[in-house]
Chain A
Amino acid sequence: MYRVELEQFEGPMDLLLFFIKRDEIDIYDIPIARIADEYLTYVRVMEEIDLDGVGDFIYMAALLINIKARMLLPSQDADEEGEAVDPRRELVERLLEYVRFKEAADQLSTRRERRREHFVRGDASADRERVEESHEVEVDASVFELVEALGRVLEADEDDDESEPIHEVAPLEHTVEEQQRYVVERLRRDSQVSFRTLIRGESRGFVIATFLALLELTRQQHLRLRVAERASDFSVEARDDAALQSDRPLQQVPPGLQGDGAVGPPSGRSGEE
């Protein structure tokens, strides 16, 4: 949850400004060597928290180190009047510009808040359309529904189990490969079978391993999954009989899946007795 905060509220320029404010540094005379080192230290911490958002920070750190290096060398650049150019100048100008836009963004936010105190005719319908639109775009409905269906199945499973959660890691009961074979066997008998039927009366570990096996088989185009409208179950059907019937061995599960794929009870949840 902190990751979100980092991405939303702080960028690489903000971090520089943070050092400047904290140490009451004169923005026109930044002690680049020290700031560059501190910046790097901070970026390393950030890598621990949020790898995704750290790229832009690394770029800024590189820029600082570049400036630090140029400060150590005898100046070669000169402006139109022949005076030596401070390697920090461009960075400072950028920072100042950024500060102005940050402030402008705040002012605009305030304006928007004030504006939102007023309501106009047509607001309701226009907003409703927009809300619906944005949902459509951001959610991949089919995958989402699939996971939702799994969630409901697991939830139903949980209801049966009223015992206190036991925190222990039980040995793995079912592997994804095993479950792939199970599903294939099953589909040789019936061309279509519902997920609930496949896992009826089985443990959580079995349910999850089976679910992953289905995803893997679907990825390999052996199956087709159909999600019902209410998404509390879905059905599995053989897509290509030839592939299932043949003696051709099932494709290896990719390494990523294999690691997570060997499913025991999720740690910290109820253990299997």
Chain B
Amino acid sequence: MPDDHTLEEAAEAILFAADEPVSASHIARIMADVTGHSEPSEDDIDAAIDRLNAAYEEHGRTFVVEAWAGGYRMVTRASFSSFAKAFYVEEQETNLSRSLMETLAVIAYRQPATRPEVDFVRGVNSDYAIRKLLKMDLASVEGRADSVGRPLLYGTTDRFLEQFGLDALDDLPTLREVEDLLDDPAFDDERAKLLQLDREEGISVDMIDAEGIDASDDEDSSG
């Protein structure tokens, strides 16, 4: 008898079988279809998911239900990732390159954004990066701008939200204030790579102090 089952049980069964995030409203609709009763509210579903998660926690299960891309997904806990990783050893996706990440960040925060807008922020041509993101289904074409030439408008996809563990665009981390960033010592790390490069290549550039960025530039300190 379907009506004997609780909302938690129904939601758990659906999420276990699903291979994409399932929204609360979708779960509610299925529940109404199966039981013939009126649809539970989304709040009811959310509460049922909370109870499920509490039960998993209590019984030390290795999975948890996360809210991603506007839906719920049953996922393994981070502390068990080494097992799952070992299982998928061949299929590990590589990290996204920095140029892809930058391009994606501009599109995510500025969407809908045109390619010239992205190029302008990054100071480089982003054509390749955008095409790559489209192919990876992290970005998509959202239409055309009204400006001259009617350039394409790009935005992020649900897949982007899911891949980055975000429920909605509102969950994007807030952009940090500039002053805050400039004072951050971590900001220097990448620059050091450039210095390293000069040293290894054996190219002498007078203005670069090969000892590192911490050494002060005594002959010419302005600003």
Contacts and interface: CB of A to CB of B under 8 A. Distances in A.
Interface in A25-76: 25-27, 29-31, 34, 38, 41-42, 45, 48-49, 56, 59-60
B104 A105 contact: yes
Interface stretch (B31-39, B52-60, B69-77): B69-77
A111 B84 CA distance: 19
Given A17-B191, A22-B217, A94-B120, A45 B91 contact: no
Nearest to A98: B121
A60 B105 contact: no
A104 interface: yes
19 contacts: A2-B200, A8-B97, A22-B191, A22-B209, A22-B213, A23-B220, A41-B205, A42-B207, A99-B178, A101-B102, A104-B175, A112-B96, A119-B84, A120-B76, A121-B19, A122-B19, A124-B87, A124-B88, A124-B91
Interface string B82-103: 0011011011010111110110
Most buried by A among B101, B175, B198, B223: B223
Interface string A88-129: 000000101111111111111101101111111111101110
A182 interface: no
Nearest to A134: B135
Contacts, number: 189
B47 interface: no
A93 to B, nearest CB: 10
A124 B87 CA distance: 9
Contacts of B193: 5, 9-10
B223 A96 contact: no
Nearest to B83: A119
A241 interface: no
Contacts of A122: 19-20
B123 A11 contact: yes
Interface of A: 2, 5-15, 17-18, 20-27, 29-31, 34, 38, 41-42, 45, 48-49, 56, 59-60, 94, 96-109, 111-112, 114-124, 126-128, 130-131, 134, 137
Interface string B179-195: 00110000110110110
B147 interface: no
A228 B196 CA distance: 46
B221 A108 contact: no
A9 B98 contact: yes
Contacts of A7: 99
B123 A60 contact: yes
Contacts of B120: 94
A40 B194 CA distance: 16
B98 A115 contact: no
Interface in B110-149: 120-125, 135-136
A114 B78 CA distance: 8
A107 B174 CA distance: 9
Nearest to B17: A121
A10 B137 CA distance: 25
Given A23-B222, A45-B205, 20 more contacts: A11-B122, A12-B124, A13-B122, A15-B194, A21-B182, A21-B213, A27-B182, A30-B223, A34-B222, A56-B124, A94-B123, A101-B106, A102-B102, A104-B176, A108-B104, A109-B95, A109-B101, A112-B163, A117-B78, A120-B19
B195 to A, nearest CB: 9
Nearest to A122: B19
A137 B135 contact: yes
A9 B190 contact: yes
Nearest to B221: A23
Nearest to A121: B19
Given A30-B223, A31-B222, A123-B88, A45 B78 contact: no
The 5 closest A-B pairs by CB, nearest first: A122-B19, A25-B223, A115-B165, A117-B78, A119-B84
